[in-house]
Structures are given as structure tokens and as C-alpha cells.
Amino acid sequence: MTIPTKTKAVRLFEYGGPEKLIYGEYDLPPLGDRDVMVKNLAGSVSRWDVKYRNGDLVRYQIPGRAPFPLPQQLGREAAGEVTALGRMVARFKPGDRVIGVTHPEDVESVEFARGLGNLSRNLAIPGHQAFGSYAQYLVRDEHMWLPLPADADYEQAGVTLWPFSSSHRVVRDRLRVRLGNTVLVTGASGGMGQATMQLAKLAGARVIATTRHAGKAATLRELGADAVVVTTNAESARDELRKLTGGEGVDHAVDYTGNHDLLRLVGSVMRLGGSLVITSEQGRDPLPFTAADLIRLELNLLGIRGARMNDMLTVLNLFGEGRIRTRIAARFPLAKVGEAHTLLETSPDLVGRIVVLPWA
């Protein structure tokens, strides 16, 4: 078989609107001794892609990580079939079904030795520091691929590993959710929100979701929420949340919005000794919590920065067993990734994730 040297792809050469995503044919890097070439059959469009495209990530400088470069090929997730191998690759063979590693670790780092491989330095994460999955063919080191469970659906694989592995770390390690706990999830209609609801339910928790759009409530219940609270009126939402918890407040909360008004609402309905994970931020305003709030509630305020290999492997097992699934909101061919970005930015009714199908 002739090994491809070019690929159809979408690349970003300057920050701006969706029109800055340039579809074309580009050179592939040469296949190194430890590299695997994959025919990419499914990937995703995420809000991180949109932030990167807009130039919003320029101000992020993670300790030990390279800055976000241009040009870039966005896209964190990928699933497909092995096409070609470097001469020293032994883990895969042509035709193998694989899924891209979304949270690599540096096994020689101090952070890895401390059990925090997600915080490893000197990493090049696909779609962040290295070229991502907006392409028909991808060339990456063999350790950047994992075997895909037999008979797994490629579309589902293309939107599963990033949100579910991050959410697994939230539910299992940061919050330590237990049977009978109540977990509040804001921003529940996105991929991370869906994943967190499902994993919290698997852990035996009761899940309450919030939304600003009443029309999403029925779908969020279908996705696993035991109750849905509409937050257009903060006072009414606070009363409803307190009623749902018998006046005690929620044991745990996860915020996927970064919205300060919503964070203020969440802080007002936390149980004594409760835990809140913050995953996003809007602007650089201080959090709407004071030292007195933390002391008064004995509140555990937590951050998260990605998942670890153990989280990914656990998620792949759950995925292979059919115990987790993502609602797909829309599908786009590679050439129309810009339209996918527009939909994600502008649609108030979107519930679920957007799939990119490079060969459609």
C-alpha cells in the first residue's frame, strides 16, 4: 500500500471568526520509527476549539507547557483505523481500530510520580500544542493511541474520551461522590455536563441539573438528571434547589459555565462541608466567594485540569460495556467545520456534542 503523504484538513493561520478555518490539502509529517498513521473517521468540535480560534487562549500559560501556537489544526478527539506504522511500532498493526489519547502524561515527570500525570509538563496535547484531529489522516507517536473496544461506534468514540475521562476525575477523585449523595451540575447540556451526570448516576448519586432554557429540561431528564432547575430567576431557582434537598443543600456541585451569577447561586445552596469543582471561567473577575463563606460552610473549593491515563482506561471499559453514551446534537463533514463552530457559538437550544466526519 502507498502511504499517504498529504491529507485534507482544516487549519487555523490567524485568530478570528469561523471563516479563519481554512480547508485544504496539506502535507503530512514523515512517518517516524515510533509513529502510527491513522485514517481518522470521527472527531469533535468543542468550545475549547472555539476559544482557540477566537484567540481567547493566548492569555492561558499553563506552567511547564508550551503556548498555544499558530498555525494550528484544532480538534482534541479522534477515532479511526491504523493505516501505516513506523518500523519500530509493535503495539498496533494495520487495520486496528484506535482512539486518540486526549490526556497524555509524561511518565518521567515529577507530577506523574506524585500520581498527577494530568499535570505533567513538557506535553504537546493534540489541538492545543500539537496538531489535532481536523484532518482525514493523523500521524502521532504510538503512545498517543489506545485500542478501541470491539464493535464500538466510531461516532460515539469521537466524542467520548475527553469529556468522560475529565468527568471521571471530577466525580471519583475531586468530589469522591458516594452512594446517596446529591450532585448539582451546571452547564449540563454540553459534553462534560452529560458525562458528569452519567458517571455520578453510576456512582449512586442523585443528580440535579440547571439550565437557563426551559426547553432543554425534558432532554436533560432523558440524559440522566433526576431534577432540572431553570435559573432565569435566581431567587426562584434557589428556593427550588433548597426544597429539592430538604433545606440541607447539595453535597457536591460542578460548574461548567464560569458564569458568576450562576456560581453565586451554587454557592448559596451548598451543604455544610460540601465540595464545589470549578472547571471554567469567564473573564478575570474574582470568584463570588469570600474567605468567610469558605469558613462558614467549611466549603471545599476545587479546580481540575484534565484527566489521567487511569481515567481514560476506565472510561474505555465503560464505553466498551455500553454503560455510557453521548447525545449527538449535529454532524458535519470536515469541509464545513466552520459551520459547526457557528452552530456551537450561536445556538441556545443545542444539547449534546458536535461530531466531525472527515470522510463524509
Please, are residues 299 and 167 in contact by the beta-carbon 8 Å criterion? no
Q: Which has the closest alpha carbon to 251: 270, 266, 235?
A: 270
| pLDDT value at residue 349 | 87
Q: What is the number of H-type helices and E-type strands within the chain?
A: 11, 15
What is the pLDDT, as a whole number, of residue 287? 86
Domain 6-159+326-357 has CATH 3.90.180.10: yes
pLDDT for 66? 75
**What does the buried/exposed string (b/e) look like for 308-336 if buried means 16 or more CB atoms within 10 Å of the residue's CB?**
bbbbbebbbebbeeeebbbeebeebebeb
Segment 216-258, tens digit of pLDDT: 999 999 999 999 999 999 999 999 999 999 999 999 999 999 8
Sign of the dihedral defined by the CA atoms of residues 62, 66, 71, 73, in that order = negative
What whole-number distance in Å separates Cα of residue 198 and Cα of residue 315?
A: 12
Q: What Å distances lie between residue 242 and 179, 228, 237, CA to CA?
A: 20, 13, 9
Tens digit of each residue's pLDDT (9 = 90 or more) over 145-181: 999 998 899 999 999 999 999 999 999 999 999 999 9
Of 356, 308, 359, give the one whose Cα is nearest residue 73: 356
Q: 276 and 266 in contact (C-beta within 8 Å)?
A: yes
The length of the chain in residues reads 360
Fold adopted by 164-303: Quinone Oxidoreductase; Chain A, domain 1 (3.90.180)
Residues of the chain with CATH 3.90.180.10: 6-159+326-357, 164-303
39 grid coordinates:
485514517
Instruction: Give the pairing of strands 35-45 and 78-85.
Output: antiparallel
Distance CA 196, CA 250 (A): 15
C-alpha to C-alpha distance for 164 and 192, rounded to whole angstroms:
7
How many other β-carbons are positioned within 10 Å of the β-carbon of residue 58?
13
Query: CA–CA separation, 281 vs 286, rounded Å?
Result: 10
Q: Are 46 and 345 in contact (CB under 8 A)?
A: no
Give the residue carrying C-alpha cell 511547564.
64
Rounded CA separation 18/338 (Å): 5
Q: What is the DSSP letter of 322?
A: T
Which are the contacts of 239, defined by CB distance < 8 A and separation ≥ 6? none
Mean residue pLDDT of the chain comes to 94
**CA–CA dist 331, 321 (Å, integer):** 24
174 and 196 Cβ atoms separated by less than 8 Å: no
Cα 294 to the center of its chain, rounded Å: 28
* pLDDT tens across the length of the chain (360 residues): 689 999 999 999 999 999 999 999 999 999 999 999 999 999 999 999 999 999 988 777 677 777 789 999 999 999 999 999 999 999 999 999 999 999 999 999 999 999 999 999 888 999 999 999 999 999 999 999 999 998 899 999 999 999 999 999 999 999 999 999 999 999 999 999 999 999 999 999 999 999 999 999 999 999 999 999 999 999 999 999 999 999 999 999 999 998 999 999 999 999 999 999 999 876 667 888 889 989 999 999 999 988 999 999 999 999 999 999 999 999 999 999 999 999 999 998 899 999 999 999
Q: Tell me, what amino acid is at 266?
A: V
Rounded Cα distance, 184 and 264, in Å: 14
